[in-house]
Amino acid sequence: MTATMSELPIAVGEQVGQVSGLLLRPADARWLYVFAHGAGAGMRHRFMSAVAEALAERGVATLRYQFPYTEAGGRRPDPPGVLQATVRAAVAAAALAAPGLPLLAGGKSLGGRMTSSAAAKSSLPGVRGLVFVGFPLHAPGRSGTERAEHLEQVGIPMLFLQGTRDALADLDLIRTVCDRLGPRATLHVVDGGDHSFAVLKRSGRSEDEVIEELADTIAAWPAEQRLQ
**Bridge partner list, 133:** 108, 161
- Residue percentage of the chain with pLDDT more than 70: 99
Please give the average per-residue pLDDT across 27-41, as a whole number. Answer: 96
Q: Give 208's contacts (C-beta < 8 A, 6+ positions apart).
A: 50
Please give the average per-residue pLDDT across 98-110, as a whole number. Answer: 96
Backbone angles phi and psi of 184, in degrees to 5: -70, -20
Give the pLDDT confidence of 137-157 residue by residue, as tens digits.
999 888 899 999 999 999 999
Find, among 82, 36, 30, 91, the residue nearest to 58 by Cα. 30
Please give the average per-residue pLDDT across 56-60, as a whole number. Answer: 97
Q: CB atoms < 10 A from the CB of 41, how many?
A: 15
Domain range 3-224, its CATH number among 3.60.40.10, 3.20.20.70, 3.40.50.1820, 3.30.460.20: 3.40.50.1820
Give the pLDDT confidence of 35-50 residue by residue, as tens digits.
999 999 999 999 999 9
Buried-state track 75-99, b at ≥16 Cβ within 10 A, e below 16: eebbeeebbbbbbbbbbbbbbebbe
